Amino acid sequence: MLKAERVAHIQETLERLYPETPVPLDHRDPYTLLVAVLLSAQCTDARVNQITPLLFAKADNPHDMVKLSIEDIHAIIRPCGLAPMKSKGIAGLSRILVDQYGGQVPADMAALEALPAVGHKTASVVMSQAFGVPAFPVDTHIHRLAQRWGLSSGKNVVQTEKDLKRLFPREKWNALHLQIIFYGREYCTARGCDGTVCPLCRELYPQRKKPVVTRKG
């Protein structure tokens, strides 16, 4: 199957399997989404969704968050992992939002990336899911599947994002980001894919019999 055929088949399959793409992180607005995405680094969405109600009960906006100490935030988000860095990031970005943006999350990629503890992937998620701006956030899960499906060289997430943006229509990026994540969780997991269970891998590579080894990016 040629790459163009693979791309078309992958897009059609994902749209059929996941016609709706709800955001897996519970949130109410751009700020609560930004905090939730920050907390999701090296933590499951399910765990984040257990912790954010506790945090947002104390502060669900930058003005209230800056009233909490870093220690207060740390105590609540500790189960999410990387709590020291994340608590400092939440406190720091909340202060900047209050001081520089009137308590609003800017709908600007560069401004988001300049916030403490907010990297390109987090900023991309907020731009796409909070503001509807086409973006293609690539985490380790999407990077893994793009490599398995022959869509990218798989060297790193930066290259994978460029490759996926080049291969898929811009208007599909936001939905595809979530569809690929949903598919990876259900069919093509981090533990591996032997080419006999995963529907897409089986169709894309019908002769594949051995588990796929994915390089780390």
Give the Cα separation of 94 and 88 in Å (integer): 10
Give the Cα separation of 104 and 13 in Å (integer): 38
User: Looking at residue 181, what is its pLDDT?
Assistant: 94
Q: Which of 60, 86, 139, 163 is catalytic?
A: 139
Range list for CATH 1.10.340.30 in the chain: 30-131
Q: Which of 121, 163, 165, 210 is catalytic?
A: 121
Give the Cα separation of 167 and 189 in Å (integer): 23
Model confidence, pTM: 0.90
Residue 56, pLDDT > 70, answer yes
Q: What is the CATH number of domain 3-20+137-204?
A: 1.10.1670.10
Residue 217, pLDDT > 70, answer no
Residue 96, pLDDT > 70, answer yes
107-128 average pLDDT score: 97
121 annotated active-site: yes
Buried b (16+ CB within 10 A) or exposed e, 95-131: ebbbeeeebebbeebebbeebbbbebbbbbbbbbbbb
Please answer whether residues 159 and 147 qualify as being in contact, where contact means their C-beta atoms are separated by less than 8 angstroms: no
Q: What is the CATH number of domain 30-131?
A: 1.10.340.30
Range list for CATH 1.10.1670.10 in the chain: 3-20+137-204
User: Looking at residue 91, what is its pLDDT?
Assistant: 98
Q: Please identify which residue in the block is written with the tokens 């607005």.
A: 29
